[in-house]
Amino acid sequence: MEKKGIPFRQIHLDFHTSPLIGDIGAEFDAEEFADTLKKAHVNSINLFTKCHHGMFYYPTAIGTMHPGLTFDLFGAQMQACREHEIRALAYTCVSWNEDWAARHPEWLMVNAEGIWGNKKPFDSSYYSWKCICYNNKDYQEILKAEMKEVYDRYHPDGFWIDIVQGRGCVCTTCSGDMKALGLDPENATDVRRFDKISETRFCEEFYRYLKSLDEDLEIYFNSFPYELDDGSDTLCSSIEKRKYFDFLDIESLPSEQWGYTHFPVAANYLNKYEKDICMMNGKFHTAWGDFGSLRHENALEYECFRAIANGARVCVGDQMHPCGKLDLTVYERIGRVFEQIEGMEPWLYDTKKVRETAVLIPTGAGAEDPSLGGMSEEGVYRVLSELHIPFDFVNKEDSLADYRLLILPDHAELDGQYAETIEAFLKQGGKLLVSGTSGLKDGRSMIPGMPLKHLGRSEYDVRYLRMRDSGIFPKVPKTDHVLYEAGEQIMGEGTVLAEIINPYFSRTYEHFCSHRQTPPKRESQGEPAILETEAGIYMAFPVFHMYTDSGYTVYRDLVEGCIRRLLDRPLIETDLPAITELNLRRQGQDFILHMLNYVVTGKAKELDTVEEKYMVKDKFVRIRTGYSPAGVVRLPSREPVKFHYENGYTDMEIDHSGGYEAFLIKQ
């Protein structure tokens, strides 16, 4: 099989090294360096031309070579990789550059509080660097000269360009550019919008510049290409930005601002497009620069195998010691994982995700809420993953032709044009699951086939839900269930599947009951909580946000009942537990099922991790293959698996000792 796209087994070799440290690269040995990478089954690496300290790792005529370095370290690394057929990209960075910031303070960003370089005096906190404004034309010319110098001398396979990230700069250049676009530099939302506009503008200019040097260079900017974007704000859309990326890295560690839901949220958005995606994690216990720590091997396995299960490549982040020697323990651990990925590669290339559910992204282009994957998006991922329902996040530009179910979660805004898109989707036989304020505008619903009257948000702090037909929700206990967010008051034609029960009163300092929320009244006013209409089902509360916030499994079970009612003959049926992760992909006419059985824990503050695998026994998975397979085998061993075919479904028996496993369903 022809192997297409970027490599699957990559290393991002950080080398941010203070100029106060001497003997840089004193223990570097080119042959040992390459041999360590080869034994670890590495076939691609990002190598540093310079770092956030502004230090260069080759003899440069543009900037400052690290004072503790006496030879061309970058050149020696490049040559070693080239001799051993390891793809090598040249790393450089943009906004974070301590050396240029000291030499040209007039280039620094300035934020609305008047702080220069986005760093307060005497700030020694982690990840605090002086920020240079990448819109400064003089600085841009320096950056181009640096990149041309690297290209002319070393001819790398590409460039990995870090920290092209707007951070609220209102310097003279940025303020002038904002005003020229009709934006107000005194308005925080406009400043965030300009951040996105300027990121795209920078990426376009430098992409075109580097391609003018060599059309075959592979270019990536670390500029949040994975931001969820419904496409409604075209001026600052990440959809536009991604045009200037040759592949898409998803930097996603299990700590701090990321966590273990970050990567799959982004992957379920990006993996339907043509560009290769790559999951970038780290060998560190926490995050970048965590010297003297190791990710637990089961956690490293989980993250890497989860990436390939989602159709992504893998890039493990490391930081080389100033002496220039790779840590053999680290690369032995990486090698054990990469060896398994290498064995799976024949079934990783040229695959497509199999899914029939689409989820419209409820955020815009990040101006109002610049974070990736808000509470609702995270809730959607958690619910559908736990229910083993494959799905895509979609924006308003994406076609709905391949989907049977469209979910509008919690606060998805509609316009007239997208209402027409939904109408066409419904005429094709599609169904809708809608929650919260999605589609509501000016006192009514804009969703075709869902004629709702919106009476406004509930006046209560919480409300309760009571099922009318418990047969639709077999997993939901027969009692009144709290809605931690009271939601919307609606009226409409259709079948009420569950109704609202109000509390006696909202909790205030004057009237309250017990420790927390006031209990529900006994009687119902008949107000719908879940309403079935011709087009689908509407839930009058932000169920996905609430699930992320509370983890109350009843919310997941309510969604499951709705989806089972809307979507007959699902792609996957299984009795596997909710924590098992399933990913279904197709290679030609063959199906490939990836299964992960790992125990994810949040045992430390701001850190998800994995220490244990778990066994599953006497379970089943049914895949709607539509054909009787020639065989089902485990990968890569090709050990046969018992299966039964009936009525369009291939039924597999699952006994698994834990961890990662893949199955090939051969036509």
* pLDDT, tens only, 135-172: 999 999 999 999 999 999 999 999 999 999 999 999 99
**How far, rounded to the nearest angstrom, does the alpha carbon of residue 120 sit from its chain's CA centroid?**
31
Beta strands in 94-232 (DSSP E): 158-162, 218-221
- Average pLDDT of the segment spanning 300-309: 98
Percentage of the chain beyond pLDDT 70 is 98
Comparing 232 with 586, which gets the higher pLDDT? 586
Query: Strand pairing partners for 9?
Result: 314
- Average pLDDT of the segment spanning 378-385: 97
Query: Does the pLDDT at position 66 exceed 50?
Result: yes
Mean pLDDT is lowest, of 229-238, 256-265, 452-461, for 229-238
Q: Are 160 and 91 in contact (CB under 8 A)?
A: yes
pLDDT tier for residue 363 given thresholds of 50, 70 and 90: low
d(CA 270, CA 417): 23
d(CA 241, CA 226): 10
Percentage of the chain beyond pLDDT 90 is 91
pLDDT of residue 512: 96
pLDDT tier for residue 226 given thresholds of 50, 70 and 90: confident
Q: What is the DSSP string of 596-640?
A: EEEEEEEEETTEEEEEEE--EEEEEEEE--SS--SEEEEETT--B
SS3 318: strand
pLDDT of residue 1: 36
Query: Does the pLDDT at position 599 exceed 50?
Result: yes
- Average pLDDT of the segment spanning 541-556: 97
Q: Which residues of 301-315 are buried (b: 16+ CB within 10 A; e: fewer)?
A: bbbbbbbbbbbbbbb
Cα 659-663-667 angle, rounded to 5 deg: 175
pLDDT tier for residue 657 given thresholds of 50, 70 and 90: confident
SS3 80: helix
Retrieve residue 240's tokens.
């536009």
Mean pLDDT is lowest, of 391-395, 413-417, 590-594, 627-631, for 413-417
Largest CA distance in the chain: 82
Cα 573-575-576 angle, rounded to 5 deg: 105
CA distances from 648 to 257, 353, 570 (A): 43, 19, 11
**How far, rounded to the nearest angstrom, does the alpha carbon of residue 341 sit from its chain's CA centroid?**
21
Nearest to 225 by CA among 259, 202, 191: 202
d(CA 347, CA 586): 9
Query: Does the pLDDT at position 305 exceed 90?
Result: yes
Query: Does the pLDDT at position 256 exceed 70?
Result: yes
CA atoms within 13 A on the CB side of 105: 4
* H and E: helices and strands count for the chain: 14, 33
Domains and CATH numbers, the chain: 9-349 (3.20.20.80), 357-570 (3.40.50.880), 573-666 (2.60.40.1180)
pLDDT tier for residue 336 given thresholds of 50, 70 and 90: very high
Determine how β-strand 9-14 pairs with β-strand 313-319.
parallel
Cβ within 8 Å of residue 52, ≥6 positions away? 16, 93, 96, 97, 98, 129, 163
d(CA 618, CA 654): 6
Task: State the average pLDDT for the chain.
Answer: 95
Mean pLDDT is lowest, of 226-235, 452-461, 525-534, for 226-235
Q: How far apart are the first and last CA of the chain?
A: 17
H-helix or E-strand spanning residue 12: strand 9-14
User: How do residues 178-192 score in pLDDT, each as one tens digit?
Assistant: 999 999 999 999 999
pLDDT of residue 236: 80
d(CA 455, CA 25): 68
pLDDT of residue 364: 54
d(CA 649, CA 629): 10
Retrieve residue 75's tokens.
């050149």
d(CA 227, CA 270): 9
Query: Strand pairing partners for 634?
Result: 663
Cβ within 8 Å of residue 601, ≥6 positions away? 608, 609, 610, 611
Q: Kindly state the DSSP code that residue 207 receives in the 8-state scheme.
A: H
Determine how β-strand 248-251 pairs with β-strand 528-532.
unpaired
d(CA 307, CA 583): 10
Tokens 């996040």 belong to residue = 393
SS3 239: helix
The total number of residues written for the chain in this structure? 667
d(CA 224, CA 439): 28
User: How do residues 28-59 score in pLDDT, each as one tens digit?
Assistant: 999 999 999 999 999 999 999 999 999 999 99
Angle between helices 137-154 and 73-83 in degrees, nearest 10: 50
pLDDT of residue 7: 98
Comparing 222 with 604, which gets the higher pLDDT? 222
Mean pLDDT is lowest, of 91-95, 103-107, 230-234, 597-601, for 230-234
Q: Are 365 and 232 in contact (CB under 8 A)?
A: yes
- Average pLDDT of the segment spanning 619-642: 96
pLDDT tier for residue 368 given thresholds of 50, 70 and 90: very low
Retrieve residue 505's tokens.
């009163």
Nearest to 616 by CA among 645, 655, 652, 642: 655
- Average pLDDT of the segment spanning 491-511: 96
- Average pLDDT of the segment spanning 507-511: 95
Residue 496 corresponds to which amino acid? V
